[in-house]
Amino acid sequence: MKRVIVDNEKLEDKVVTIKRVTKTTKGGRNMRFSALVVVGDKNGHVGAGLGKAVEVPEAIRKAKEDAIKKMIELPLDENGSVPHDYTGKYGSSSVLMMRSKEGTGIIAGGPARSVLELAGFRNIRTKSLGSNNKQNVVLATIEGLKSLKTPEEVARLRGISVDQL
């Protein structure tokens, strides 16, 4: 996968979830925090990352750095929707993303909505199927977006013109 380079000043981030996680040792319990952050520029680039640390701000910073490393580039069509319907799967979560006409807005649940807003979609409908674990839903949404193809790409792969599609 190619590396996406985006200007860091234009990036917006959204904390999806913060969890307190513990590890039990013979000396007692070690408390840490795990953060899931989505980063995007609202112009076709988005990424999600995880970070763990003893303090919440440090976990969020690490998650944001991880999300920037994992940024992907997305095809947006003229009305701010996906080029075609697609189901993204990750673990036991799947997110169905459907094309929508102008004026629909973003119809999505919490975790998927944060990914789609920061990616720059304006008109899209989604349905979260299977597990509704926030981390898996975010990653399923990103997997689905990663697999989208523009009509030009499909025509090139089939060896025909866009008009014949």
Q: Is the pTM of this model over 0.95?
A: no
Of 105, 130, 107, the residue nearest 97 (C-alpha): 107
Q: Which residue has the tokens 């000043």?
A: 9
pLDDT digits (tens, 9 = 90+) for 139-151: 999 999 999 888 8
Q: Is residue 3 part of a domain?
A: no
pLDDT digits (tens, 9 = 90+) for 52-109: 999 999 999 999 999 999 999 998 888 888 888 999 999 999 999 999 999 999 999 8
pLDDT digits (tens, 9 = 90+) for 13-58: 999 999 999 999 999 999 999 999 999 999 889 999 999 999 999 9
Q: Is residue 1 part of a domain?
A: no
Q: Evaluate whether 142 touches 115 at the Cβ level (below 8 Å).
A: yes
| Dihedral angle, C-alpha 120, 134, 19, 35, nearest 10 ° | -30
CATH number of the domain encompassing residue 79: 3.30.230.10
CATH number of the domain encompassing residue 50: 3.30.160.20
Rounded to 10 deg, the angle between the 110-119 and 134-146 helix axes is 40
